[in-house]
Chains A and B, each alone.
Chain A
Amino acid sequence: MTITDRTITAPEETLALPAGPTIAHRPLGVFTRPQGSEGWTSWLFTVDHKRIGIMYGAAALFFFLVGGAEALFIRLQLATPNGSVIGAGTYNGVFTMHGVTMVFLVIMPMAAAFANYLLPLQVGARDVAFPRLNAFSFWCFLAGGLLLTSSVLIGGWFQNAPDGGWFAYAPNTGLLFSPSKGIDFYAVGLQILGVASLVSAINLIVTVLNMRTKGMSFFRMPVLTWMLLITQFLLLFALPVITVALFLLMFDRLWDANFFNVEAGADPLLWQHLFWIFGHPEVYILILPAFGIVSEIIPTFARKPLFGYHFMVASGIAIGFMGWGVWAHHMFTSGVGPLSVAAFSVSTMFIAVPTGVKILNWLATMYRGRLRFTTPMLYAVGVVSMFTIGGLSGVTHAIAPSDTQQTDTYYIVAHFHYVIFGGALLGLFGGFYYWWPKAFGYKLNEGWGKASFWVMLIGFNFTFGPMHILGLQGMSRRIATYRADEGFALWNMVATISSFVIALGVAMFFWNVFVSTRNWRRAGRPDVGPDPWDARGLEWMTASPVPEHNFDSEIEVERLDEFWHRKYGKDESGRIVRAAPTSEVAHDGSNTNVHLPSPSYWPIVLGGGILLVGYGIIYNLWLAAAGLVLLVAAIYGWILEPADDPDAAGHHDDHSDDGDDHGDPGSNGGPSGNGDSAETEGPEDRGGDSAETEEEAATVG
């Protein structure tokens, strides 16, 4: 590894934009561009996919603490029979917000953090296809997250929190049964989050399809790239469905429409169908990124290529398709009829097959490998084992008669925590440990990491394991109390105590971050090297932390696991031997002569406009109108702003390939000067933004 003699200041120099600090160019004579890459303002206006990824991760961890605190309130309320810690009304808000927060504000943005940071690196690109849209996705997500989370404080503690459960079944969510503003926050907040995810999905799909480096064919892409790509396609097609449902709900509540008005002849099953047509692909949106992460970690620490790469990819694609044909298994007891129940029962059993393929391939990858049980590897193995448990209880749900008994009991709660906590969240935490050195230049402490893993794992199993028993005993979910003579007391107490063990494990993770950072700084910020784990993907082929321009030069890929094959070869007897030291293979990030997209004010302004529109729809349409004005102004400011700061031009060398300024495919003879790049991002902006504008227009008007 290259514990090199690079000076401490070197990375900062490479991070500096080539533009320099003294530019006063004003596009259309109105505004200057934000400048510089240091200080907190540079984070607000950044369009760098790596910084955006880090911000996604930080925001997701913040919301993770919020959602975790809500979980602890649930457990405290249920610790003893006839609990009275928070009361039934607040309890409804707490469990709803726990679910909504963990799904939409924790797992999804954490996956987005990895997608943003790693996708361009793994396909060898300079940035995502649309850097400013990427920044907008983040700010829009943050606006939606803050709007949703603010509902627990506005007007009193959990007085206006959503209280219909995370799937918010009609007609419970009507004004009659849920008169607070909570469901409005739910409907508007999720729509804003949907816009963020949709824009991000379009951006990342185009990035993967269009910006792969030379030789990076589809079947040379890492499995993580594949899984994230499939996830983005699921988002692309699933989000509009819930957007429709949320619009209907909003119209019903705010403007007296009749979509879920049973009195007017409506069938509330419509909501269930729309929600779960989104909701089941959503399950795979949550889990596939973690599958991808595990598929990166296990080969590295088993020191073997991933077993059955093509089967891994194909099973991911199969899950992506089949995920659309199983939604009614959430509705077995809703009266959809025996034929539907039978069909969805069968399709649900089938979808276990590609998932099983993945489990098998991970096991086969580890089989006879030279395993190194580092912290990321522990998390990855944790995913394989815990997800298998959750998957098996999932198969029991596929059997409709059995599911009929289990519906709305703690058996279901146990199942989805095993797949979402034991699968998705453990995988994402493993990803944090694995890519932490890549993003920040130092490893997290292994001792604390392993300790926190075991504490989390034990706490997790003793929290959610007993819920299988509680569910089979008949304990209903979403009921704030139970009686002492029902026999639920013991396992509830065990679960509550163990939930605090999980909290301890999470606290140890944060402590680990603190300690590792402090120790690294005290040690004089030693360089961890580009490839601390001896890994396989292209992201390890550049310096850590990744310089702003990612790679010093374009990488030509000739096979799967290109980086590994550049490091290792075979000797005469076929044994694998080191062919070249990492320092020779990897880039050192010293190339500062790379033109990068310029930072921009507009993404955060647009996000702010959307936040105002969101509150405005809930409270006062005049506020929404003001937000709309800001939003339209931001869109036009954005379109009229050159994608690249013209004064930063001059060497249109590398970056122009990567998509920001696609003037004219075919002729590169003309000078790509100031005017050329000027409004070429226009059409895409219009395309992407029209999603917002039309939704806003429809919402307001």
Chain B
Amino acid sequence: MTSETGAAEAATQSAHAEEHHTSTGISNEKLAMWVFLGSECLLFGGLISVYMFNKGRIGPNDVGPNDVFDIPFTSVSSFVLLMSSLTMVFAVSSIARGDLRGNRIWLTTTAALGATFVAGQVYEFTAFYSEGLGFTTNLFGSAFYALTGFHGAHVTIGIIMLMSLLVMSLRGNLTQERAETVEIIGLYWHFVDIVWIVIFTIVYLFPQ
């Protein structure tokens, strides 16, 4: 970026003077994650639309939302997932400060909170199933499991990525210079959390 290059415009070996620099100033990896999350918005947008389109299409005697939802339970697990966003922020800020030990602790905590949420979802699915709502039972069942299942799969992927980061960190490969890696995974994690806020509101809290 500096004027070191000035005179040697055509010189091929001068590129050292260039910083690691992109046209937008955002690194390729981070930009790719943003772009990918843009696409994910449409994926969840589509799934949420499908749910809203279908949730009321059940017969009078079918198992419906009011028969199965346990709002206090899901509120708690939603709270757990939201707290994991907070710990994710701590993970990002700790590695940015070079606090590798703190980073490991917060990565582990975030993954554990995420896993708690997924475990809650598994419990919830089992409970719903025992109450008579299967994937194939009716349109509400198909739409509900498809939407929340897709979200759960996203959280699971996130946990796997966090655990991979932790392993990298323990092997000494995740240092302060690579704080952005954690930040990018954090973007994904926050996105998945935000999507859950939307899903929780629309699926559980909207009047059925």
Contact = CB atoms under 8 A, between A and B. Distances in A.
A247 B44 CA distance: 13
A553 B138 contact: no
Chain B interface size, as a band, is: 35 or more
Contacts of B146: 247-248, 251, 257, 259
A256 B136 contact: yes
B148 to A, nearest CB: 11
B188 A243 contact: no
Interface in B135-182: 135-136, 138-139, 141-143, 146, 149-150, 153-154, 156-157, 160-161, 164, 168, 173, 177-178, 180-181
B50 interface: yes
Nearest to A678: B173
B184 interface: yes
B74 interface: no
Interface string B110-140: 0000000000000000000000000110110
Interface stretch (A197-205, A474-482, A598-606): A197-205
A686 B28 CA distance: 13
B70 interface: no
Nearest to B53: A270
A697 B157 contact: yes
B35 A241 contact: no
Given A236-B39, A556-B9, A654-B15, A209 B31 contact: yes
Contacts of A653: 12-13, 15-16
A693 B150 CA distance: 12
Q: How many residues of A sit at the interface, in one of the four size bands?
A: 35 or more
A168 B15 CA distance: 53
A657 B20 contact: yes
A493 to B, nearest CB: 45
Interface stretch (A36-44, A344-352, A661-669): A661-669
Given A210-B26, A653-B12, A664-B177, A683 B185 contact: yes
A240 B43 contact: yes
A652 B17 CA distance: 11
A153 interface: no
Given A256-B136, A270-B53, A653-B13, A237 B18 contact: no
Contact of B39 (A202, A261, A654, A681): A202
A664 B175 CA distance: 11
B47 interface: yes
A690 B22 contact: no
A679 B141 CA distance: 42
B11 interface: yes
A485 interface: no
Contact of A257 (B11, B22, B23, B136): B136
Contacts of A466: none
Interface in B1-46: 9-13, 15-16, 18-33, 35-36, 38-40, 42-43, 45-46
A323 to B, nearest CB: 14
Given A259-B54, A678-B173, A680-B178, A210 B22 contact: yes
Nearest to A684: B29
B63 to A, nearest CB: 13
Contact of A237 (B22, B39, B161): B39
B59 interface: yes
Interface string B97-116: 00000000000000000000
Contact of A657 (B15, B38, B139, B181): B15
B50 A270 contact: yes
B28 A662 contact: yes
B58 interface: yes
A494 B50 CA distance: 45
Given A202-B36, A593-B13, A664-B177, A210 B24 contact: yes
B161 A688 contact: no
A678 B181 CA distance: 13
A682 B164 CA distance: 10
B18 to A, nearest CB: 5
A641 B99 CA distance: 26
Contacts of A409: none
Contacts of B24: 209-210
A686 B181 CA distance: 10
Specify which of A270, A636, A698 lies most central, judged by the most chain B CB atoms within 10 Å of its CB.
A698
B19 A665 contact: yes
A258 B142 contact: yes
Contacts of A238: 42
A198 B22 CA distance: 22
Given A236-B39, A668-B20, A697-B153, A264 B138 contact: yes
Contacts of B154: 690, 694
A274 interface: yes
17 contacts: A202-B32, A203-B32, A251-B135, A264-B139, A265-B139, A270-B53, A270-B54, A553-B10, A662-B28, A676-B177, A680-B178, A682-B168, A683-B33, A684-B184, A687-B32, A687-B33, A687-B184
Interface of A: 129-130, 198, 201-203, 205-206, 209-212, 216, 236-241, 243-245, 247-248, 251, 255-259, 261, 264-267, 270, 274, 552-554, 556, 591, 593-594, 636, 639, 652-654, 656-657, 659, 662-668, 670, 676, 678-684, 686-688, 690-691, 693-694, 697-698, 701
